[in-house]
Structure 1
Amino acid sequence: MRKLHTSASTRRERAAQSGRVRIGAVLTMSAAAAVVLSGCAAPADDAAPAAARTDDQTARRVVQVAPAPEPGSGYGPLLEGPTFAADGRLIAVDVTAGTTRPKVVRIDLNRRKVTAFGDGAGLTAPTSAQFNPRDGRLTVTDFATGKVVSLDGRGGGLRVEFEGPVDGRRMQPDDLTFDPDGNMFVSDAAGNAASTEDPVGRVVRIDAATHHATVVVDALASANGIAFDEDHRGLWVSEYNRNQIDYVALDSEREEATAVHPAIRPDAGASRVDSIAVDAAGNVYQGYEGKPVIDVFSRDGASIARVSVPRSDGGKVTSATNLAIRPGTTQAYMTVSGPGGSFVYGFRAYGKGTPQSNGG
């Protein structure tokens, strides 16, 4: 069963991991007690099914970021965490860069030029990036170490924002998002290898002032994508091992969850849901590991569109895990990876971007 924590108190190696969660009705015990959602009360089929799409489009390739891997070299590039810097350039991370490629890159989309953003020192497997509205620093999750760190405007000056256990267990931080006050919400992808009857993924809140971490929601089947809705009243959270998008309603202080329910069931097939982004109109963009598409849903769960890569590129790329929308515009860019390397593709968004219209 899933618990909503009401007191203050990722993936990666994904291919070898699995998990599951069941979502049920919210039972409020008391102001100080946890709110429990029973696994028997409401099956996952309550999530809105994908409906007929009306506005599909094909994305265009903008730039190649990393080359195809050498035969026998292990993992290929996995581009993630796209976010727009104040100068208009796109920042992204390479999860599997190791010591052979830049871990954080800066992409000039107009000139189609890719450069390293800092030397990557102190990072092991960065999975997401987001600019903190409080101080403007680039905040990065490191899946391998369980840390959340930040970088200055040149990609250096690494500062640890959070490390250590949360409620007795180290995080596997995957994606992140900020509220307007700079409080951080992180998806803890733990549980990919756990029993399907005992999912342990979480949403963790890290306070902007104290850096104290509290669990907002637990018992998730490997929490992955996370993004605030358009008015910062709740969070959209994707469960990697359930192929489901949940909606988490928050209290007025954005400190505790008041309810959570299965909201959207994408047509994932053999792929897995990955990062989530939201535009100014409230549309939800869902990326995937295992197929190079982005699905777009309205706030009420209606399927608006699917954004795909050209068919001629299908064998070169296999995942479109994340995206970012340039603030104030409908210029959208998705991170796409596969045997042919990693790339950025462009498409028209279905609503204007905000400073955090990206998958974290």
Structure 2
Amino acid sequence: MRRVLLFLVFASLIYAQPADAKSPVGIVRNFGPDLSAQCNLPEGIAADPRGRIYASSLNFNATSGSANICVLDRDGNIVDLISVAPATSSGVAKLLGMLFVPNEGLYVTDIGGGRVIRVDVRTHAVTPIASGFQAPNAIARDRLGNLWVSDSFLGTITKIAPGGATTTYSYPTELAPLAGETPGFGANGVAFDRNERFLYVAETSRDQIYRIRYDNGTLGAIDLFAQGVAGGALDGADGIAFDVKGNLYVCSNQSDEIAVLDTAGDVVAEYRGTGADAFSSPASLVFRGRTVYVTDLALFHGGAGQKLSVFTAPHAGASLVIGARGQGDGELGDGQPGDTDDQGDD
């Protein structure tokens, strides 16, 4: 009952607020074209300081060949295609999580090659960063410059230091997928809270969000933060991201919604969309100011609805790249110093 009351109060507040110039708060709409041809089964998403949006192709049913990253401008036009070749000549590229870091490039996980790569978005050059994963999925970055990568099959989180050294932390009881689940993903989306006290991890097969104690580049104890329900909030918990108020946005890929959790782990809002603008297996999300972009994987809809969606949130997104002008740079209102949480995305 408490969750229902919180949601009703929250919803009444956000819909009473002034909308930004593009869309009222909470109204989900399609962004850009159908991506089935250029970026089959769009999974990962990232944004750069100039407002470009990157969507990766999971390429789920492919058995060989390259996969694309679609680059869209602010109006939703595809302005570039980055082709990523497989790790081996006989392999297949299957791209998942992405993170854009200024002056470094676009970090991407490739489940087909069991690796993490860095892509130069101007030259399209691909540099291997780390390998040996079974199912590398989402990527987060701490203020020390370490990358943190979830492995959905092993239930692990791997730290990739700036020099390339790796350290793996295993949480098989909490983060390894349940037996018999399809497609069998455990640890999925990852995100640090604003103060970097915890690394939050979505667990897809159990519909849960965990948090892992973080201290100066080291992970510690893990505990349950939020439990979802089948057919509702967190069902198929996937990509996650924080806003500047500490609310956690969670893609629920099997219930076709994005749930918002407050700092206590309670559901305070759920976004779905309607009709042709409804979500279709939402997989990942990224903030640009208060504007939230979402990949619609469409994996549980027979491939129908392979697209991006967009909606306006009540508050701006928290910075994903602390200490660098990064994904959702200061001009985009991502909550870096000088931003206000009620500004638009432009």
Q: Which category describes the TM-score, using the shorter chain as reference length?
A: 0.7 to 0.9
1:216–1:255 contact (8 Å) kept in structure 2 = no
**Mapping for residues 70-85 of structure 1, pairs under 5 Å:** 77-85=40-48
**3-state SS of 1:323 partner:** strand
> For the residues of structure 2 that align with 1:155 and 1:307, how far apart are their CA atoms?
37
| 1:104 has 2:73 as partner | no
Return the letter of the residue paired with 1:129: M
Q: Distance in 1 between matches of 2:66 and 2:130?
A: 25
Q: Is the partner of 2:306 in helix, strand or coil?
A: strand
Structure 1 counterpart of 2:287, from 318, 321, 325: 325
Q: Which moved more, 1:271-280 or 1:139-148?
A: 271-280
| SS at structure 2 position matched to 1:159 | strand
8 Å contact from structure 1 (residues 201, 218) kept in 2 = yes
Read off the aligned partner of 1:106 and give its amino acid letter.
Answer: V
Give the strand-richer structure, 1 or 2: 1
Q: Relative contact order: is structure 1 or structure 2 higher (C-alpha 8 Å, sep ≥ 6)?
A: 1
- Taking structure 1 as reference, are residues 51 and 202 closer, same or farther at Cα in structure 2, changes over 3 Å only? farther
Q: 2:307 aligns with which of 333, 337, 343?
A: 343
Q: CA deviation at 1:266?
A: 2.4
Q: CA deviation at 1:107?
A: 0.9
Aligned residues of 1:50 and 1:301 also touching (Cα < 8 A): no
Distance 1:50 1:241, change over 3 A: farther
SS in 1 for 2:32: strand
Instruction: Identify, as 1 or 2, the structure richer in helix.
Output: 2
Q: Give deviations 1:282-310, integer Å, cap 9, x for gaps.
A: 11011122232110111211212111121
Structure-2 residue corresponding to 1:13: none
Q: 1:192-249 CA distances to partner (integer Å, 9 max, x unpaired)?
A: xxxxxxxx4111111112x121123421232111111112221110111111100111
Relative to 1, partners in 2 of residues 1:50 and 1:261: Cα closer, same or farther, differing over 3 Å?
farther
Number of positions where the alignment pairs a residue of Structure 1 with one of Structure 2: 281
Which of structure 1's runs of 4+ aligned residues deviate more than 6 A?
A: none
Asked if the contact 2:56–2:96 (Cα under 8 Å) also holds between the matched residues in 1, the reply is yes
Q: For residue 214 of structure 1, what is the aligned residue in structure 2?
A: 167
CA gap of 1:281–1:183, structure 2 versus 1, over 3 A, is: same
User: Could you tell me which amino acid in structure 1 is paired with residue 252 of structure 2?
Assistant: Y
Give the Cα–Cα distance (whole angstroms) in 2 for the partners of residues 356 and 81 of structure 1. 15
The 1-side partners of 2:237 and 2:118 are apart by 26
CA distance in 2, matches of 1:204, 1:215: 4
Partners of 1:141 and 1:147 within 8 A in 2: yes
Q: What is the TM-score normalised by the length of structure 2?
A: 0.74
Indicate how the Cα distance of structure 1 residues 132 and 312 shifts in structure 2: closer, same or farther if over 3 A, else same. Answer: closer
Of stretches 143-152 and 121-130 in structure 1, the one that deviates more from structure 2 is: 121-130
Distance 2:291 2:57 in 1: 22
RMSD: 2.6
Q: C-alpha offsets along residues 87-123 of structure 1, whole Å, 9 cap, x if unaligned?
A: 111111011175899610111132x201333222246
Distance of aligned partners of 1:101 and 1:64 in 2 relative to their CA distance in 1, 3 Å threshold:
farther
Match of 1:263 among 225, 230, 239: 225
Matched, 1:175 2:135: no
For normalisation by structure 1, the TM-score amounts to 0.71
Q: Indicate the larger mover: 336-345 or 136-145.
A: 336-345
Amino acid at match of 2:157: V
Q: Where does the alignment leave 5 or more consecutive residues of structure 2 unmatched?
A: 12-25, 88-92, 177-185, 322-326, 328-346
User: 2:140 touches 2:191 (CA, 8 Å); kept in 1?
Assistant: yes
SS in 2 for 1:149: strand
The alpha-carbon distance between structure 1 residues 51 and 68, as it changes in their structure 2 partners (threshold 3 A), is: farther
Which residues in structure 2 correspond to 1:153-232 (within 5 Å)? 153-154=121-122, 156-164=124-132, 170-190=133-153, 200-209=154-163, 211-219=164-172, 220-221=175-176, 222-232=186-196
The separation in 2 between residues aligned to 1:341 and 1:217, in whole angstroms, is 35
Change (3 A) 1:153 1:67: closer
Among the aligned pairs, what percent are the same residue? 25
CA distance in 1, matches of 2:240, 2:230: 14
Partner of 1:63: 32
- Structure 1 residues 351 and 243: CA distance shift in structure 2, 3 A: same
Amino acid at match of 1:336: D
| Offset of residue 51 of structure 1 | 4.8
1:23-34 aligned within 5 A: none
The answer (yes or no) to whether the contact 1:246–1:260 under 8 Å persists in 2 is yes
The code of the aligned residue for 2:126 comes to L
Query: For residue 232 of structure 1, what is the amino acid of its counterpart?
Result: E
Taking a change above 3 Å as real, the CA distance of residues 323 and 268 of structure 1, as seen in their structure-2 partners, is farther
**In the alignment, what sits opposite 1:130?**
99
Residue 150 of structure 1 corresponds to 118
Distance 1:149 1:307, change over 3 A: same
